[in-house]
């Protein structure tokens, strides 16, 4: 009778938690006094089925095996909690350690197979099937997950072992912080960077304008408000929506949000504090600052469509709530939250903090990057322009700088991704073919030797651009004193004819490429030239299609053992 009542209480608890769905749903019914009488009927029926065995010896072995398996499971749970070092696990047993847990597990398993090997094997298989069923079919519970505690314990231990002082260029990989203003217009760029990370850290960063003190937002501008203070941190309420977005997109990314009085200051915060230990971002990726009308990706991807079957995720965020959380895309007439000076300032700040910078433009036109899209990339082309197109003559004809090598490395990393593995990579070298010293021949041979040493499979295309250089009008020689100080000359006022000629050159040779990697010049040191700097970049990349402008500071290649 005790077993009958005790088993019914356990069955009633399983029914309340909806672990096995409809078959156990009636067992949740109770009487007015709270007795689970339906669960008692369930257990009584099961007991009657066992009685048909006819003799006690026929079921004694099976019952004993199940008891031993239950005790082994309890010992296993205690062992997992002990190894996880959970502070709230404080057993009151007189003699307890992980040794006793392990001894209990082994003792129970050995006795099970001594009693009846067939019953023992069948019970373990049945237990594994139940675990698989619960893993894939049961709803998310609030009991806590021992697996999360074990993962935390192991990750913390290995993060402490990941020493930043032991970093080496041979094992470099991109660790990306992608700043996202509105995911509705940035999903394609998010998917692309997910391919570009090559097993490295990938963090989605977002800055919410505001302050916990006496500052409010009025028509996009932060102003002091004497009688207004935020009752709580609004950022904490947004994490579940961003994590649900990551699940929808199927990208392997972390999320880091911050509250700041300006986007520039918030980006500085994220560049400094994002990551942990040896896993810190080394590359900042931004969307391009232009006047193009953004597209709403939520209206294009079927994953964001509403359907009758679409419900909430495991953490209470349904599709309508996710769509309502992120504001509509910005209209052309809408005021911006970021000025050109602030945008260029973010680039300058990242460079001062020794971070590589990438600017992505026209990635809304990139196809085949969303989750579930099948493509082998055989018809894709990756074009790399490793020289500074806005500063002819700034790079020696016989050598390339760190930024050029970084471009080659990033293109090679993309070519190693699963969706881009079969894409063809082309490297374009702009040369002055009409020069008397024939330096372009040396440049081509130098690049071929460089690609051979770096084991990069790519074809080299020689592009004469004498007519473009003539429009430049001024050849600047690098100033070694400024270079040592990390400074640059004020950006020259490039003519519209020169910028248009560079754009036409890119359009002529890279029109069929799926994505283009271009050299991003250093931003000007004077904020008054920020608009001019952006105008030059916009003119050069106008109408190109998916383009990544890159300024690399990190040595990423090594030809020595």
**Could you tell me the residue range of the domain that residue 130 belongs to?**
2-147
Buried/exposed code over 348-364 (b: 16+ C-beta within 10 A; e: otherwise):
bbbbeeebbbbbbbbbb
Q: Average pLDDT, stretch 397-402?
A: 68
**For residue 156, is it within any domain?**
no
Residue 394's pLDDT is 63
Work out the number of other CB atoms within 10 angstroms of the CB of residue 383: 25
Q: Identify whether the C-beta of residue 497 lies closer than 8 Å to the C-beta of residue 463.
A: no
- The pLDDT tens digits for 75-98 are 999 998 888 888 888 888 878 888
* Residue where a domain terminates, one of 112, 147, 182: 147
Domain end among 147, 180, 201: 147
Among 160-164, 448-452, 510-514, the range with the most confident prediction by mean pLDDT is: 510-514
Has residue 511 been placed in a domain?
yes
Same domain, 142 and 174: no
Pair 358, 466 in one domain:
yes
Phi/psi for 72 (5° steps) reads -65, -40
Tell me the two tokens of residue 38.
């339906």
Confidence of residue 354 (pLDDT cuts 50, 70, 90): very high
**pLDDT computed for residue 74 by the predictor:** 92
Give me the pLDDT at residue 134, please.
79
Query: Is 154 inside any structural domain?
Result: no
Can you tell me the mean pLDDT for 177-206? 93
Q: Is there a single domain that holds both residue 131 and residue 272?
A: no
Query: Is residue 31 situated within a structural domain?
Result: yes
The pLDDT score that the predictor gives to residue 217 is 54
Contact at 8 Å (CB) between 491 and 305? Answer: no
Torsions phi, psi of 431, nearest 5?
-130, 155
Residues in the chain: 561
Q: Would you state the pLDDT for residue 219?
A: 47
pLDDT score recorded for residue 124: 94
Secondary structure letter of residue 32 according to DSSP = T
Please state, for a pLDDT cut of 70, what percent of the chain lies above it. Answer: 85
Question: Higher model confidence: residue 177 or residue 338?
Answer: 177
Number of structural domains in the chain: 2
Q: What is the pLDDT of residues 284-299, one digit of tens each?
A: 999 999 888 888 888 8
Domain boundary among 119, 147, 175: 147
Place 477 in a pLDDT band, splitting at 50, 70 and 90.
very low
Cβ atoms within 10 Å, residue 61: 15
Long-range contacts of 158-162 (CB under 8 A, 24+ apart): 159/276, 159/277, 159/278, 159/279, 160/277, 162/277, 162/278, 162/279
CA distances (Å), origin 392, targets 169, 426, 475, 503, 521: 29, 20, 7, 14, 12
Distance CA 343, CA 181 (A): 12
**Domain check: are 139 and 177 in the same one?**
no
16-25, 111-120, 337-346, 380-389: range with lowest mean pLDDT: 16-25
Same domain assignment for residues 245 and 116? no
Is residue 498 situated within a structural domain?
yes
What CATH number corresponds to the domain at position 504?
Answer: 3.40.50.12370
At 26-70, the pLDDT tens digits run 888 888 888 888 888 888 888 888 777 777 777 888 889 998 999
**Model confidence at 447: pLDDT above 60:** yes
Does residue 176 contact residue 202 with C-beta atoms inside 8 Å? yes
b or e along 296-329 (b: 16 or more beta carbons within 10 Å of the residue's beta carbon)? bbbeebebbeeeeeeeebeeebebeebbebbeeb
The least confident of 445-459, 475-489, 513-527 is 475-489
Average of pLDDT values for 266-291? 93
Average pLDDT of the chain is 84
At 435, is the pLDDT very low, low, confident or very high (cuts 50, 70, 90)?
low
Task: Please check whether residue 557 lies inside any domain of the structure.
Answer: no
pLDDT at 436 over 70: no
Render pLDDT for 135-149 as a digit per residue (tens, 0 to 9).
777 666 666 778 888
**Alpha helix positions (H), 200-318:** 239-249, 263-273
| Burial profile 202-240: b = 16 or more Cβ within 10 angstroms, e = fewer | bbbbbbebbbeeebbbeeeeeeeeeeeeeeeeebeebeb
Distances (CA, A) of 130 to 4, 39, 101, 424: 22, 20, 23, 48
Are residues 257 and 286 located together in one domain of the fold? Answer: yes
**What is the reported pLDDT for 308?**
44
Closest CA relative to residue 405, chosen from 423, 386, 392: 386
The pair of structure tokens assigned to 312 is 């909430």
Q: Tell me, yes or no, whether 195 and 132 share the same domain.
A: no
Minimum mean pLDDT among 107-111, 132-136, 499-503, 528-532: which range?
132-136
Confidence of residue 476 (pLDDT cuts 50, 70, 90): very low
Residues 86 and 173 in one domain: no
234 and 281 together in one domain: yes
Tokens of 386: 């490793």
Do residue 320 and residue 240 come from a single domain? yes
Residue 152 in domain: no
- 494 and 529 co-located in one domain: yes
For tokens 């690609």, the residue is 451
Residue 274 has pLDDT above 50, yes or no: yes
Is 200 or 489 the better-scoring residue by pLDDT? 200
Residue 229: predicted pLDDT: 65
Domain assignment present for residue 69? The answer is yes
Is pLDDT of 157 > 70?
yes
Same domain, 143 and 169: no
Indicate if the pLDDT at residue 397 is higher than 80. Answer: no
pLDDT at 88: 81
Placement of tokens 């090997």 in the chain:
117
């Amino acid at each position: 009778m005790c077993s009958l009542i005790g088993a019914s209480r356990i069955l009633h608890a399983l029914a309340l938690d909806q672990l096995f769905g409809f078959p156990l749903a009636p067992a949740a019914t109770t009487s007015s006094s709270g007795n689970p009488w339906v669960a008692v009927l369930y257990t009584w029926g099961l007991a009657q089925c066992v009685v048909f065995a006819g003799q006690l010896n026929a079921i004694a072995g099976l019952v004993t095996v199940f008891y031993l398996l239950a005790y082994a499971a309890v010992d296993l749970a205690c062992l997992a909690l002990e190894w996880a070092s959970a502070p709230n696990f404080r057993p009151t047993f007189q003699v307890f350690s992980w040794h006793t847990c392990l001894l209990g597990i082994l003792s129970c398993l050995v006795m099970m197979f001594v009693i009846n090997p067939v019953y023992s094997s069948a019970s373990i298989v049945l237990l594994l099937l139940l675990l698989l069923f619960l893993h894939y079919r049961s709803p998310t519970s609030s009991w806590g997950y021992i697996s999360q505690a074990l993962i935390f314990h192991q990750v913390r231990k290995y993060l402490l072992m990941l020493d930043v002082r032991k970093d080496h260029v041979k094992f470099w990989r991109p660790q990306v912080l992608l700043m996202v203003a509105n995911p509705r217009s940035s999903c394609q760029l998010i998917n692309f960077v997910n391919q570009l990370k090559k097993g490295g850290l990938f963090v989605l960063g977002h800055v919410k304008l505001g302050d916990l003190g006496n500052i409010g937002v009025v028509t996009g501008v932060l102003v002091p408000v004497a009688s207004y203070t935020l009752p709580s941190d609004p950022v904490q309420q947004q994490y579940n929506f961003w994590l649900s977005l990551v699940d929808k997109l199927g990208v392997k990314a972390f999320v880091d949000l911050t509250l700041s009085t300006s986007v520039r200051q918030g980006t500085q915060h994220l560049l400094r504090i994002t990551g942990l230990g040896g896993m810190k971002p080394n590359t900042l990726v931004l969307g391009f600052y232009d006047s193009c009308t953004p597209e709403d990706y939520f209206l294009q991807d079927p994953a964001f469509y509403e359907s009758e079957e679409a419900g909430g995720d495991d953490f209470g965020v349904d599709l309508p709530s996710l769509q309502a959380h992120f504001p509509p895309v910005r209209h052309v007439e809408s005021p911006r939250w970021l000025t050109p000076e602030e945008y260029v300032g973010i680039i300058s700040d990242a460079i001062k903090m020794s971070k590589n910078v990438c600017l992505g433009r026209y990635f809304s036109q990139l196809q085949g990057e969303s989750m579930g899209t099948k493509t082998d990339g055989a018809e894709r082309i990756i074009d790399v322009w490793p020289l500074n197109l806005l500063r002819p003559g700034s790079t020696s004809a016989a050598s390339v700088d760190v930024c050029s090598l970084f471009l080659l490395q990033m293109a090679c990393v993309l070519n190693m991704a699963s969706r881009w593995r079969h894409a063809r990579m082309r490297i374009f070298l702009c040369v002055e073919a009409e020069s008397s010293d024939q330096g372009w021949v040396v440049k081509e041979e130098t690049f071929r030797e460089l690609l051979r040493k770096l084991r990069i499979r790519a074809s080299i295309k020689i592009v004469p651009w004498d007519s473009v250089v003539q429009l430049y009008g001024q050849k600047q020689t690098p100033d070694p004193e400024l270079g040592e100080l990390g400074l640059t000359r004020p950006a020259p006022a490039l003519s519209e004819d020169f910028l248009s000629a560079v754009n036409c050159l890119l359009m002529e040779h890279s029109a069929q490429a799926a994505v283009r990697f271009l050299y991003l010049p250093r931003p000007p040191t004077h904020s008054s030239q920020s608009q001019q700097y952006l105008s030059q970049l916009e003119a050069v990349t106008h109408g190109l299609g998916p383009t990544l402008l890159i300024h690399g500071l990190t040595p990423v290649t090594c030809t020595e053992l």
